[in-house]
Structure 1
Amino acid sequence: MGVRIRRAGASDRDLVVGLLDAAFMDDPVSGWVLPGEEYRRARHARLMGVFTDVTYDEGYIDLAEDGSAVALWVDMPAEPHPGEGDGEDEAVQVRQAVDPDNERVEQIARWTSEIHPVGRAHAYLWMIGVAPDRQGEGLGTALIAPVLERCDREGLPAYLEASNPRSRALYERLGFVFTGTALDLPDGPSLWPMWREPQQP
């Protein structure tokens, strides 16, 4: 489909955060991290804001020109750069920024960091969000496809964590394969780490 995509700039931050907030408000993992609808509505945008700011600092954000969908990407090196903080330090910082009294914010950040593959450079699709009234139109696929095409040209793998069965099925159609070990949240949903080897055109 003809989706016009551009790179998001600093002036798009509120749009990006709003899109992610709406897209993930009812996501099972968001519901586990921020239980209770009223509490989630009060804190969720703050969590999406932290994710957005980290991506602006460390990666890039692709945005559908009509503001209907957004993807957060980080190009990961084979090994962490010397001097970088470890995942646990970053998890504590996320918790302090979002809700210091909620240990689940720190736990999810730490656990996803622990399962993240190392040893090979790869493109990391941190999050992709589509406006709720536009879901099912193929916008997610259109937004992801150009990066996967670059990965294929450059021989670069890609990685993500699927947070619900519907998104997992989408990623499987795009060539991602479940790594075989899910992150099962205590008394909650699962995250499925998925890896995509570069494909020949």
Structure 2
Amino acid sequence: MIVVAPAARSDLHAAVAVLAAAFEHDPVTGAVVGGPPTDRLERTHHLFTGLLRPALADGTVDVARYAGDPDILGVAIWEAPGAVTSIVRLAAQLPSFWRACGPDGVLRAATIKHAIDRHRPRRPHWYLQEIGVAVRARGMGVGGALLEARLADVDASDAPAYLESSTERNRRLYRRHGFVDVAPVRGVTAAPMSMWRSSLSERSARTEPTPDPTV
């Protein structure tokens, strides 16, 4: 049985390792961290350290395990509706991002993030930042379990959700959980597809409004 629960602070290093391995060869992550492929894993490790620390404090990181097994099989980082990145939080993240991107890459990474943020809907929503599964656990339903756990809470609050996906394989998983394709994210390597999941009440009414980032 796969058990999903909010991550604890003690899960940080294991969760970072799972995500770094999962995204080592991802084209968007590669564009963010830059550098030669030989040190891509190390850079990606620093990137997710910076992303995970504040999200752990917010309680918006989920981890999946087999019941009774301490090893982490998968990790999902979410951002709650209305979340705001404070200057204090950004300052705490900067050392990890600096190690991930290098002194010449921080501006590049900020440009990519700006392009991604520009496509996000203005309407408050849950945002799936990242989801990754350990190599040994792929194809075993871990990603689906992570989605189901958090989306149950999202539906309970009648909120919509949003994400970007770089691969058709992952998009098939998201579609099975109620997400629909919106549009490619222009200005980002590989132009990942933005995807939207309407609130429970909207889905019950069989409406699938396409989010407009300008409103």
The bucket for the TM-score relative to the shorter chain is: 0.7 to 0.9
2:180–2:195 contact (8 Å) kept in structure 1: yes
**Cα distance, 1:35 vs. partner?**
4.8
**Cα distance, 1:36 vs. partner?**
2.9
1:7 partnered with 2:6: yes
1:96 partnered with 2:98: yes
RMSD of the TM alignment (CA)? 2.5
Q: Distance in 2 between matches of 1:12 and 1:57?
A: 12
Number of residue equivalences: 190
Change (3 A) 1:75 1:126: same
Q: Which amino acid is the alignment partner of residue 144 of structure 2?
A: T
Q: Unpaired segments of 5 or more residues in structure 2?
A: 66-70, 205-215
Q: Which amino acid is the alignment partner of residue 48 of structure 1?
A: F
Identity %: 32
- Residue among 95, 98, 121 paired with 1:117: 121
Alignment match, 2:175: 172
Q: Which amino acid is the alignment partner of residue 52 of structure 2?
A: T
2:5–2:64 contact (8 Å) kept in structure 1: yes
**TM-score under structure 1 normalisation?**
0.82
Alignment match, 1:68: 73
Structure 1 residues 10-19 or 21-30, which shifts more? 21-30
**Cα distance, 1:31 vs. partner?**
2.6
1:7-156, aligned counterparts within 5 Å?
A: 7-33=6-32, 34-65=34-65, 66-77=71-82, 84=86, 93=94, 95-96=97-98, 98=100, 99-102=102-105, 103-118=107-122, 120-156=123-159
Change (3 A) 1:11 1:176: same
SS at match of 2:72: coil
Q: Unpaired segments of 5 or more residues in structure 1?
A: none
**TM-score under structure 2 normalisation?**
0.77
Structure 1 residues 103-112 or 152-161, which shifts more? 103-112
Q: Distance in 2 between matches of 1:133 and 1:35?
A: 27
SS at match of 1:125: strand
Change (3 A) 1:178 1:35: farther
1:28–1:164 contact (8 Å) kept in structure 2: no
**Cα distance, 1:180 vs. partner?**
2.3
